[in-house]
Structure 1
């Protein structure tokens, strides 16, 4: 305790007025396991709120010299425990919230890590631009956290994922040095590996992302939104695979299974919603013709698109209602190639049907690619820590059996960390960690133990 008090005094001297007790940081969490057992909320000595890159440099230098762990936090919207502190100091980056530059001519923006995605999108829209990243949590998720967890939004089939829009990064690494991962703004460079990729998805384990240069898109001039209804989810999967192979694929596609369709719309079957967005009316009409050949049962109109997308921002209300009933809800997003998607969907549902304490399991296709798709499962179950891990292990067993990944866009966090070594060569991550953070002060225990 004496050492903690000493650290707190030193921090208050370094950052007057910007050191707070970590009470709210260890009471707020979107991680379902922390709702079951509050000890998973974590703990910290204090939280520091940097207001500049120079502040981050000073904080990293202090932590490096004193051997104090730093827990990097953005919007705190992680559902896998990535935001839970493990002792030391919380680094709250939300005041690094400047949009330094928007270059409409070159379609680039330089944005600090603490900027909330929704606010960034609003600013870009005023310039006739878009980042094209629309995660469900965009009203609270910050750019830095989104990059650090390798996030994605529902329009990834048109605009790509976060790794596709990051041009270069500004990072602070121990013992307290600032680097841009490239010194120049260029569309592409083969002069050595892209260093930005080291930090995208690393969840702060290799360095503190303080800003990013982002690639932007023009807002579309022509939009076509529509829907279709299939008798079964599997029938819909076959159609969506064909949509994914189009020369001009839809910007957004979501296919809901029978349970989710009934819950959100009251319809029987599996509903598909999609959006095409182009700069050319001719391209849009060509897409309409091709889609009509695929969806021969006809279209249901844009009303279902609006209804289902309007439900996405209401996730807090849905979660609150479930928690008040004494239940827990969690989500798992796994990605696989098209030849395995339908079978994997059935296998996961069957595996969880046999787990006592699981009430129901629903799913939808949330992201599509030419080579595969993401299955996004929602699971309602009794509040039990052992059941929580049993569910995750059951899903992972099926993902492993089908050669799928256990994480499409929710990152690694704590709960998925034990699966990382089964999917990827974790020893290479450890070597990177040792080289970039030799004292292990940045998000200790994250990514790889």
Structure 2
């Protein structure tokens, strides 16, 4: 509503001018200082028992505060919604200090008018300009022998004057004429659209017939092409059948290659470990076989010397000088023979585990597919595969004696023999 009023009435801009605002500030300062803030005047309808000065100045101060609050904080809003007062009674609505000092009654009447118009357009409510409060002022004006016609006009006729002012404004008439011409243009547009619709229907029917004819011709052409290509399709089907056989053969080869190269990186790592362990096993086997040969040959050599060359060996207790070192060496060789044998045994166990891991890498892919096809939980299979593949290789180290285990026992035995 407010924007529409601004359009049809124009924009005068009284209460947004810096000079007017400056004058309003001066008036406000004067009224604030010189009018006491009393509330007793608002207790009821004015009569001759109420202090007239207190009533009048109290009403004036209340109306002025409400007006000045709008002018100070909502100046554009106030200016937009008081255009009638600005246009019809421009001289009385500056609210300068001179206006107040010249005629306080007219000053208050103008405040009532401008606030009445503001609240009329905005739709807000203020009890200060209600009919009841205006009646109080009318009674006081009558009692004071001052002309109350302005206030009665505000109460009884101002709302009609505002509506008449809007309806007779130039821009409202222009808007009315625009709506009339808009209706005429609307009817013309409807008739034009109806004519275009009729023409469009004729064009649509013509295009429909042409399209159906074109589609029919195209359909016949496609059917002929399909029949012509049917024989070629049969030939291609035969060729595809032959190709399928070749594809199946290739699929079998790929499956074999997949089995062979499945987890090729993992298999390569295990193969390298296997090669190292096999080399260690060969070294360990050579070691314990050589130790076994030495352990067997040395006693045999002593026996042969004793049989065929008895004079070469010491006699009596002197023979201990030969046998004690010999027995010591034999025990040491026996100890290292045991170490080499257990190491070879451990390496064989490790190689067995590595072979198991390599075998799993070879067949796990096909096995997982088989389980999927039979709706079996593949996750458990993969968890089991991970637990085997990535488990450490057991070396049975707890069963292999340390390099110096038993040396203390040999030393104690030798010490006892020497003491004897």
What TM bracket, shorter-length normalisation?
Answer: under 0.3
TM-score scaled by structure 2? 0.19
Q: Which has the higher strand share?
A: 1
Q: Which has the higher helix share?
A: 2
TM-score scaled by structure 1? 0.18
Larger Rg, first or second structure (1 or 2): 2
